[in-house]
Amino acid sequence: MVRNDRWERLEAAFTGQTPDRTPTVGGWISCVETICTLTGVSVDEYWADPGPISMRAYERLGCDGLIDNLVPRGRDNRIVDEHSYANADRGMTFEECIAHIDARETADDVLAAFDFEAEYDCFKRQMLAGQEAAGEMVWFPARWDACAALGHYHTLGYENFFLMVGLEPERIDKLVQISAARAHCVNRIVARGVAEGIHPHALFLGEDITTQRGPMVSPDFMAEHWAPQLAYSLGPLLDVGCKPVWHCDGDVRPMMDMLLAAGVQGLQGFQPECGVTIEYVAGLRTRDGNRLLVLGPISVTTELPALSPDEIRQRVRHAIDVCRSNADLCLFTANTINPDCSPENIIAMYQAVRQ
């Protein structure tokens, strides 16, 4: 892995030390025209080699680390489409969903079938290839499979999922346990990567289980059926001092105590319009009473597309001031940077930490 000032800067923030300046994270620009403006290439040149050109954009912004390298699905700049998210109806009746779950393997089956050495070799190759592509920036990709999952609407469909929560909670338990077993295995791999120095001391993970009005299901249900499995899935990371950083969409406040008690030690995202502000986040503590690691907090709905470059710089400085002595901040956006966010504002956001 790369060993330079960017690695040292990020690792200082990840381990609760004091970096020479606020680190910056990139990877979520989803607008081809913005990438072209930042790199000076044409749209046709971009589509001829999108991955490396996107990497060049983050390098020119001075990013210290990358959690992804988004390439839109097409020239309309979409990174999601009708195939990306579950529909209300996945083509199964409720009875067929029950039969599907009953036929699934168990969590013990998942653990027994896991080939740690083979999986680690694959993980290591992918990490080293990603780091080579990232150049001087630190590659630490998000792992959406690294935590126990509650929202199984992707496979069941929304209607069947919510019916299952209400009528067949023991079958939801089975799905959560299967996902927790897989996540535990994934995190054993990441933990070894941390110990061997090919992965930094933070892992970006989470799932979309909240709306702008709160969790999709009752926090009491989550506490009983999901939180213990989440804690189990995160265990290998905590054993090596790697901080799980949870992606926060919507109003996560009703489940925040649950997340922190399960071992989450960092947060990313935040929608201030939902009450999840940088002041709120910086005041939180881990279950051991330590500061949180924060990736954010610049909003892609109320700030980056709506304010002037000077106002963006002020928001960055405000976040740095709020987090000073209260949280370990890595500057990032709340979510993907869409075409309504001007290149001037993006540049201003990243420049602000060096001014």
Q: pLDDT category, 221, cuts 50, 70, 90?
A: very high
What's the whole-number average pLDDT of the chain? 94
The arithmetic mean of pLDDT across residues 275-301, rounded, is 96
Between 241 and 86, the higher pLDDT residue: 241
The arithmetic mean of pLDDT across residues 77-103, rounded, is 80
pLDDT of residue 74: 76
Q: Residue 88: is its pLDDT beyond 70?
A: no
The arithmetic mean of pLDDT across residues 297-314, rounded, is 96
pLDDT of residue 83: 63
Burial class (CB within 10 angstroms; exposed 0-12, middle 13-18, buried 19+) of 182: buried
Tell me which DSSP letter residue 255 carries: G
Share of the chain above pLDDT 90, in %: 89
Q: pLDDT category, 341, cuts 50, 70, 90?
A: very high
Q: Give, for 159, the enclosing helix (H) or strand (E).
A: helix 158-167
pLDDT of residue 82: 63
Q: Residue 86: is its pLDDT beyond 90?
A: no
Query: In this predicted model, what pLDDT tens digit does every residue of 181-201 receive, in sequence order?
Result: 999 999 999 999 999 999 999
pLDDT of residue 84: 61
107, 177 contact by CB (below 8 A)? yes
d(CA 131, CA 143): 16
How far is Cα of residue 107 from the mean position of the Cα atoms in its chain? 24
Q: Residue 223: is its pLDDT beyond 80?
A: yes
pLDDT of residue 81: 63
The arithmetic mean of pLDDT across residues 59-84, rounded, is 83
The arithmetic mean of pLDDT across residues 152-161, rounded, is 91
Query: Which residues fall within 8 angstroms of residue 109, CB to CB, at 6 or more apart?
Result: none
Strand order in the sheet with 292-298: 202-205, 243-248, 266-269, 292-298, 327-333
Q: Residue 277: is its pLDDT beyond 90?
A: yes
Ramachandran angles phi, psi of 17, nearest 5°? -95, -175
Domain boundaries, the chain: 86-200+207-241
Q: pLDDT category, 318, cuts 50, 70, 90?
A: very high
d(CA 263, CA 256): 11
Q: Give, for 245, the enclosing helix (H) or strand (E).
A: strand 243-248
Query: Which residues fall within 8 angstroms of residue 11, CB to CB, at 6 or more apart?
Result: 17, 200, 201
Between 95 and 155, the higher pLDDT residue: 95
Which residue, among 167, 208, 178, has the nearest Cα to 101 in the 3D structure?
178
